[in-house]
Amino acid sequence: MANYTAADIKALREKTGAGMLDVKKALDEADGDQTKAIEILRVKGLKGVTKREGRTTSNGLVAAAAGDGAGTLVEVLCETDFVAKGEKFIDLADTVLAQAVATKATTAQELLASTTADGKTVQGLLDDANAMIGEKIEVRRVARLEAGNVVSYLHKTSPDLPAQIGVLVAIEGGDEAVGRDVAMHVAAFSPTVLSREDVPAETVENERRLAEATAKEEGKPEAALPRIVEGRVNGYFKENVLLDQPFAKDPKKTVAKVAAEAGAKVVDFARFRVGQ
C-alpha cells in the first residue's frame, strides 16, 4: 500500500510542476518521502533533457518590465499551454525577467549565460525546470530599450493563458499615457519597423516592381503607372511602418502625428508574440 495520500501528490506537483504520473512514480519509488521524490524527479528529468532538445516549443508567455528610462521584454517558451499557465512556469519566467533587468541583457544568449544570485546560470535554471516539468523550456528572445520614457504593455489573447503579446515603446517627451496608447496600438497592428528609413532598400524596390507588374496586369494606363505604383508603395509603408500607420484610436491621424500632438517622439519599439 502506498505511503502517501492524494494531498501528498498535490503538494509535490505544486512544488515541482511535474506531471501526475511522474509524481506518483517518484513517490512510489521514494516510499512516500517528498524530499527523496523530488531528487528522483530531478535525476530522471535531467536524463531526458537532451532527448527533449528537438521538441517544438510553441507555447509560453511574454513578460515585461519598464521604468526609469529603460524597459526589458522576454519570451519564455514551453511545449504545451498546460505548462504555460502553470504557477511554476510563470514563476520561472518572472525570475528570468528579473535577471534580464538586473544584467541589462539585450540577447537571449547573453541572458542564458548570466549567473543568478544563487550561483546558477539562467540556462541552469531552465535545465532544472525542464527536468522537473518534463517539457523543453527555452528563452527565445530578449529586448531592451532605453529612452526618456519606456512603457511596457502585455496583452492576453486568452483569459486562460498568461500574456501572449508583449510590447515596449520608447519615447522622448510626452508622458506615459501617450506611450501606453502607442504600445497598445503596436500590440494590435504589429508594425515591423519604426520608420520608412528602416525598410531595406531592396524591399522597397521589390514592392515597386510588384506594384508596377500588378498594375500592368490589371490593364492600367501607362501614363497612370507612376502614380499607382507610388500609391501602392505608400500603402505598404502604412501597413508596416509604425510612424506611418493610421492610429488605432484615431485612424485619420498617423501614429507619428498623434505622438507629436502629445509632445512626444517615438524613437523605438519592440513587439513579441509567443511562437511568432
Report the CATH number that the domain containing residue 68 is assigned in CATH. 3.30.479.20
Q: Determine the pLDDT at residue 264.
A: 97
Are residue 66 and residue 114 in the same domain, yes or no?
yes
Are residue 181 and residue 137 in the same domain, yes or no?
yes
Q: Determine the pLDDT at residue 54.
A: 58
Average pLDDT, the chain: 90
Which regions of the chain does DSSP assign to beta strands (E)?
Answer: 59-67, 70-78, 138-146, 149-155, 165-173, 246-247, 250-254, 264-273
The answer to whether 73 and 270 have CB atoms below 8 angstroms apart is yes
Residue 8 neighbours by CB under 8 Å, 6+ apart: 27, 32, 34
Are residue 127 and residue 158 in the same domain, yes or no?
yes
Are residue 19 and residue 41 in the same domain, yes or no?
yes
Task: Please report where in the chains the cell 528563452 appears, as a residue.
Answer: 139
Are residue 27 and residue 163 in the same domain, yes or no?
no
Domain count, the chain: 2
Are residue 71 and residue 16 in the same domain, yes or no?
no
pTM of the model: 0.80
Tens of pLDDT, residue by residue over 162-211, are 999 999 999 999 999 999 999 999 999 999 999 999 999 999 999 989 98
Are residue 81 and residue 105 in the same domain, yes or no?
yes
State the Cα–Cα distance between residues 211 and 195, nearest whole angstrom. 21
Residue 26, class by beta-carbon neighbours within 10 Å (0-12 exposed, 13-18 middle, 19+ buried)?
A: buried
Phi, psi of 220 (to 5 degrees): -70, 145
Please give the grid coordinates belonging to residue 276: 511568432
Residue 56 neighbours by CB under 8 Å, 6+ apart: 79
Are residue 22 and residue 111 in the same domain, yes or no?
no
Domain contains 162: yes
Q: Determine the pLDDT at residue 59.
A: 95
CA distances from residue 45 to 49, 137, 243 in whole angstroms, order as listed: 7, 13, 48
State the Cα–Cα distance between residues 107 and 139, nearest whole angstrom. 10
Are residue 80 and residue 32 in the same domain, yes or no?
no
247: left (phi over 0), alpha (psi -120 to 50) or beta: beta
Q: Determine the pLDDT at residue 36.
A: 84
- Find the domain containing 36 and state its range: 6-47
DSSP 166: E
Q: Which residues does the chain have with pLDDT short of 70?
A: 1-2, 16-19, 42-56
Please give the grid coordinates belonging to residue 240: 508596416
Tens of pLDDT, residue by residue over 231-256, are 999 999 999 999 999 999 999 999 99
The answer to whether 23 and 44 have CB atoms below 8 angstroms apart is no
Residue 201 neighbours by CB under 8 Å, 6+ apart: none
